[in-house]
Structure 1
Amino acid sequence: MSLKDQITDDMKTAMRAKDSERLATVRLLIAEIKRKEVDERIELDDAQVVAIVEKMIKQRKDSITQFEAGGRQDLADIEKAELAVLVTYMPAGLSDEEVAAEVAAAVAASGAAGPQDMGKVMAILKPKLAGRADMTAVSAQVKKALAGG
């Protein structure tokens, strides 16, 4: 079952259970998926759906930070509830050791010699690790590995 089919099934389940909060979040996700498909005239695969979920998670985290800074805990709580639903659609994360092993393999595969080759290494890692690891942390590990650290 594709991730998109799972999301659609979850929407139906939330409707039957009358879980309005979960239903609203899942509908937002489906709307974003459909918007992307219509705009680009393509059928999204799981990796593209994960990218959309990742983007929505980032938006929620940013909103939570802003709402809490502005003293609007009520709105922050709504965003946290949406975040909890969205996180369930992300693939299992990788441990630090697994990320380090992927970084080492990518550095070896690309023949990277120094910091100037960071783009090559990230080009190999991004498709493998997107949605499964924090790409900012991966980037920091690549910098460290290429700096000889």
Structure 2
Amino acid sequence: MLTRDTFQEELKNAIRSGDDVRKRTLRMLLTSIKIAEVERREPLDETELLTLIQKEAKTRREAIEEAKRADRQDLITSAEDELTVLQNYLPQPLKPEELEDLAHQAIEEVEASGPESMGKVMKVLMPRVQGRTDGKTVSTLVQQLLSNR
């Protein structure tokens, strides 16, 4: 189970082992957690922590794209290293077949008849795939499946 204490212990281990990338990434993550907890005025639960880690991972992916456009290999390497550390704390991504099966189940569950039912399907499906795939991929798949109905 992920908690703030888990990340603090991981940070201590990274400091002891001299792993600078892991240390830097965990410090950044702990700062984000602290900011979120101050805003909410209560500790984050595991789901909220996963959402926060996903947000940070998405930021790293965007940074990689920007660095590629600017042809900055140093920034690309740094962001990729940080992304690798963050991905260690995220659940294993869904395979396309698994995602499609879950999407079909959600469509059947809400008895979707066409593209106008997309919101209902997404409302059922997103909690099931939380942290294992991004919303854009899910949305595209659901659109394709519903347009075929």
Give the TM-score taking structure 2 as reference length.
Answer: 0.93
Mind listing any 5+ residue stretches in structure 2 that lack a counterpart?
none
Structure 1 unaligned spans of 5+ = none
Which residue number corresponds to residue 124 of structure 2? Answer: 124
Distance 1:2 1:69 in 2: 35
Superposed, 1:40-119 pairs within 5 Å as 40-119=40-119
Q: Which amino acid aligns with 2:87?
A: V
- Give, in angstroms, the shift of residue 20 of structure 1: 2.0
**TM-score normalised by length of structure 1:** 0.93
Kindly state the Cα deviation for residue 3 of structure 1 after the two structures are TM-superposed: 4.4
Report the AA paired with residue 78 of structure 1.
S
CA–CA distance in 2 between the matches of 1:39 and 1:18?
32
Aligned residues: 149
- Residue equivalent to 2:18: 18
| Aligned alpha-carbon RMSD (Å) | 1.4
Q: Percent same amino acid among aligned pairs?
A: 35
* Deviation readout 1:52-79 (Å, 9 max, x if unpaired): 1111111111111111211221122111
Please say if residues 4 and 46 of structure 1, whose CA atoms lie closer than 8 Å, have aligned partners that are also in contact: no
- Secondary structure of the 1:71 match is coil
The one-letter code sitting in structure 2 at the alignment partner of 1:14 is A
| CA distance in structure 1 between the partners assigned to 2:67 and 2:96 by the alignment | 31
Match of 1:38 in 2: 38
- By how many angstroms is 1:37 displaced? 0.8
Shift of 1:23: 0.5
